């Protein structure tokens, strides 16, 4: 059999085929997706679930003139394969390769970049309004998953779209939580019927007729129609938000999807439309279908067996260390609560839930709610741990400020994926949490330099009952140090001296400590012995230790895996207020550069950021030499 998918480089090629060939094309696209991800790793289950949906959307709509926006966009690999990127598809998530998400700079078929959830309806509504203002009649389509619909932003956008009566199509990809149950052939028939010209025309005619009668009759007729549609389609909620609801529809019946999309495209309806599509995550690949997490994110794997490549590290992941330590504390303290925003396995709280199901709360993709929910628990004497990725906690910053910090509530923030994260790139990098938390009064902000320090910080947080606290830790495995007991706590605001030297000192905050040690080895070969401090706390600072180090050294370097305004900025502010710079101290702050760093392996990303051992050593040597040059120049002037 001729492989049709090989003849498709762009959607225009796809539209040349007959409808009865789309099933074969879908099957071939699914096979190609499995082959690609087995070599690159990445998001598999979600992409497998939208193969037919992807084919149908590009077959019916005139992309890229018609705009297609994928929410989160972790399911966009099939979309990328048929939109001019097949020749580069095996560079997915690699340095210099294709992004694992949609990206505007990558293709005109990606009209809006994503990676965080629940942004598609808002963005497509903006695009739709812009097109209306420009007298452009092209279609605008958003594809959003049922998980993303748990976020308030999606409903804010739907509420606005319904009020504006904008021309907008939303495809709800329901692949797990059943919003409404399909009812077989009848459901399919009704979906076709309700999306057809005849029903649209009939509906508008009824509205025109009843508007000529009394308001009372009009209200009753409208209620009757809404009730009927609610009974046969289950779309009452969406109808109330101003959307014309169609569904539920079998998302793997490509013929039916094409028919429905064509009906919607050709309809005269001017308001927003929601098409409820039911799909199966991992569809078409048995290991993914049978997996509990539906192969959401995978490493490289064997296609025949489904077995994934395992990490070679014998050290536990930071995420696992967090979960196991929290479990130990929860066994002794019934007030400890675990909270996650739809990331139980990603944050390790799935392990916590097995032990304490009644004290674990997955609130869905709703970080704002998660933080204020935690704040409410804290007011009643509980010890909530909000385990949220750094990049996702950004979405709840107002709640962190207003609901937690101002009230000085002891919510504990376990900030996973701190720093640069590798293949997921800038959208998932934890670049800003040090800055956006350290600026808040009365906050305790910690960063673990290794897994042992992480345990001590968790231990410490358990006893912080008068204010909020946060501890950050990276993605990946620890360095293999011994794990301490849960009784070892830190004195708040106190750092530790790793090694002592002369002339230059490093104030390290976070997991760059190992690179600092390597930099020290590089410098020692040149006769330069340096002091290394593990600061532990960005807030409160260890002011006594910082002053001691500043007074004993010519050069002081701060290092952190964060943006400007964080740890180094606070150190510089403190030293400036103490007049230390007037005495000639040379201070440099090494931070993440003022740019978004594209995906690569973490080691190369940190090299690009200038936070690797060689960059650290060079910075110290360069700063020391600037002191020597300055001294020579002063000597010349005096002579």
Q: How far apart are CA 5 and CA 364, in angstroms?
A: 37
Task: List the alpha helices (DSSP H) in 475-542.
Answer: 513-524
Indicate whether 221 and 370 sit together in one domain: no
Question: Residues 144, 170: contact at Cβ < 8 Å?
Answer: yes
Higher pLDDT: 427 or 310? It is: 427
Catalytic residues: 281, 367, 395
pLDDT score, position 299: 87
**308 inside domain:** no
Does 231 score more than 70 pLDDT? no
Please count the structural domains in the chain: 3
Indicate whether 468 and 500 sit together in one domain: no
pLDDT score, position 634: 45
Indicate whether 503 and 468 sit together in one domain: no
Q: For residue range 84-105, what is the model confidence (pLDDT) as tens digits?
A: 999 999 999 999 999 999 999 9
**484 inside domain:** no
Indicate whether 553 and 607 sit together in one domain: yes
**311 inside domain:** no
**For residue 294, what pLDDT band results from cuts at 50, 70 and 90?**
low
Range of the domain at 163: 4-288
CA quadruple 615, 618, 623, 629: dihedral, nearest 10 = -150
**301 inside domain:** no
Q: What CATH number has the domain bearing residue 201?
A: 3.40.50.970
**146 inside domain:** yes
Q: For residue range 184-201, what is the model confidence (pLDDT) as tens digits?
A: 554 565 466 556 665 555
- What is the longest distance spanned by two Cα atoms in the chain? 103
pLDDT score, position 198: 54
Residue 38 burial (CB count, 10 A):
20
**For residue 232, what pLDDT band results from cuts at 50, 70 and 90?**
very low
Question: Residues 548, 459: contact at Cβ < 8 Å?
Answer: no
Q: Stretch 249-257: mean pLDDT, rounded?
A: 95
Does 209 score more than 90 pLDDT? no
Indicate whether 500 and 468 sit together in one domain: no
**295 inside domain:** no
pLDDT score, position 638: 47
- HSE-up of residue 295 (Cα within 13 Å, Cβ side): 33
Residue finishing a domain among 288, 308, 339:
288
Q: What CATH number has the domain bearing residue 524?
A: 3.40.50.920
Residue 582's Cα: distance from chain center in Å? 44
State yes or no: cis peptide before 440, omega within 30 of 0: no
Q: How far apart are CA 83 and CA 300, in angstroms?
A: 24
pLDDT score, position 194: 57
Q: How far apart are CA 402 and CA 411, in angstroms?
A: 13
Indicate whether 327 and 261 sit together in one domain: no
Indicate whether 58 and 200 sit together in one domain: yes
Indicate whether 150 and 83 sit together in one domain: yes
The shares of helix, strand and coil residues in the chain, as percent rounded to the nearest 5, are 50, 15, 35
Indicate whether 43 and 132 sit together in one domain: yes
264-to-201, 261, 324, 340, 605 alpha-carbon distances in Å: 12, 5, 51, 38, 45
**610 inside domain:** yes
Q: Whole-structure pTM over 0.75, yes or no?
A: yes
pLDDT score, position 228: 44
Indicate whether 468 and 509 sit together in one domain: no
pLDDT score, position 313: 77
Q: How far apart are CA 140 and CA 117, in angstroms?
A: 18
Q: For residue range 456-476, what is the model confidence (pLDDT) as tens digits?
A: 999 999 999 999 999 999 999
Residue 30 burial (CB count, 10 A):
21
Indicate whether 207 and 249 sit together in one domain: yes
235-249, 290-304, 340-354: lowest mean pLDDT where? 290-304
Identify which of 206-215, 233-242, 285-294, 595-604 has the greatest average pLDDT.
595-604
**478 inside domain:** no
Indicate whether 464 and 612 sit together in one domain: no
Question: Residues 80, 89: contact at Cβ < 8 Å?
Answer: yes
Q: For residue range 64-85, what is the model confidence (pLDDT) as tens digits?
A: 999 999 999 999 999 999 999 9
């Amino acid at each position: 059999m001729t492989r049709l998918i090989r003849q498709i480089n762009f959607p225009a090629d796809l539209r040349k085929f007959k409808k009865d060939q789309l099933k074969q094309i879908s099957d071939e696209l699914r096979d190609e997706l499995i082959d690609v991800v087995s070599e690159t790793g990445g998001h598999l289950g979600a992409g497998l679930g939208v193969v037919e949906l992807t084919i149908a959307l590009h077959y019916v709509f005139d992309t890229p003139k018609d705009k297609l926006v994928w929410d989160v966009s972790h399911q966009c690999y099939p979309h990328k394969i048929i939109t001019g990127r097949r020749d580069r598809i095996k560079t997915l998530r690699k340095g210099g390769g294709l992004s694992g998400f949609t990206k505007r700079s990558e293709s005109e078929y990606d009209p809006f970049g994503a990676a965080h959830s629940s942004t598609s309806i808002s963005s497509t509504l903006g695009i739709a309004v812009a097109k209306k203002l420009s007298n452009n009649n092209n279609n605008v389509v958003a594809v959003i998953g049922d998980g993303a619909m748990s976020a308030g932003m999606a409903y804010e956008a739907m509420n606005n779209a319904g009020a504006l009566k904008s021309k907008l199509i939303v495809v709800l990809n329901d692949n797990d939580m059943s919003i409404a149950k399909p009812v077989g052939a009848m459901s399919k028939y009704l979906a076709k019927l309700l999306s057809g010209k005849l029903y649209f025309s009939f509906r508008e005619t009824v509205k025109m007729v009843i508007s000529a009668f009394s308001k009372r009759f009009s209200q009753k007729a409208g209620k009757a129609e809404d009730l009927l549609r609610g009974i046969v389609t289950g779309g009452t909620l969406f109808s109330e938000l101003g959307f014309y609801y169609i569904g539920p529809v079998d998302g793997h019946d490509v013929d039916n999807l094409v028919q429905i999309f064509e009906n919607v495209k050709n309809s005269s309806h001017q308001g927003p439309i929601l098409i409820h599509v039911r799909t199966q995550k991992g569809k078409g690949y048995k290991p993914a279908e049978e997996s509990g997490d539906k192969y959401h994110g995978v490493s490289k794997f064997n296609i025949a067996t489904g077995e994934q490549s395992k990490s070679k590290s014998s050290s536990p992941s930071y995420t696992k260390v967090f979960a196991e330590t929290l479990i130990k504390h929860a066994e002794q303290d019934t007030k400890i609560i675990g909270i996650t925003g739809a990331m139980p396995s990603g944050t390790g709280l799935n392990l916590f839930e097995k032990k304490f199901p009644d004290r674990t709360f997955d609130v869905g993709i709703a970080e704002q709610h998660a933080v204020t929910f935690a704040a409410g628990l804290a007011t009643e004497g509980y010890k909530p741990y909000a385990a949220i990725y750094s990049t996702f906690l950004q979405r709840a910053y107002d709640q962190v400020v207003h609901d937690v910090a101002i009230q000085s509530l002891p919510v504990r923030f376990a900030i996973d994926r701190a720093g640069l994260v590798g293949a997921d790139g800038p959208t998932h990098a934890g670049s800003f949490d040090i800055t956006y938390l350290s600026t808040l009064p009365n906050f305790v902000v910690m960063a673990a330099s290794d897994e042992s320090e992480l345990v001590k910080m968790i231990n410490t947080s358990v006893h912080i009952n008068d204010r909020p606290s946060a501890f950050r830790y990276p993605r990946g495995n620890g360095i293999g140090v011994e794990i301490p007991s849960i009784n070892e706590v830190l004195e708040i605001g106190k750092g530790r001296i790793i090694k002592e030297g002369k002339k230059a000192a490093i104030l390290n905050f976070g997991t760059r400590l190992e690179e600092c040690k390597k930099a020290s080895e590089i410098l020692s070969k040149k006769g330069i012995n340096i002091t290394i401090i593990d600061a532990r706390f960005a807030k409160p600072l260890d002011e006594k230790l910082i002053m001691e180090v500043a007074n004993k050294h010519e050069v002081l370097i701060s290092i952190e895996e964060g943006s400007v305004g964080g740890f180094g900025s606070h150190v510089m502010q403190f030293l400036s207020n103490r007049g230390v710079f007037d005495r000639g101290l040379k201070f440099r702050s090494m931070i993440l550069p003022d740019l978004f760093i594209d995906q690569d392996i973490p080691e190369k990303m940190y090299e690009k950021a200038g936070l690797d051992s060689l960059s650290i050593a060079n910075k110290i040597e360069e700063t020391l030499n600037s002191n020597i040059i300055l001294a020579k120049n002063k000597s010349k002037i005096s002579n």
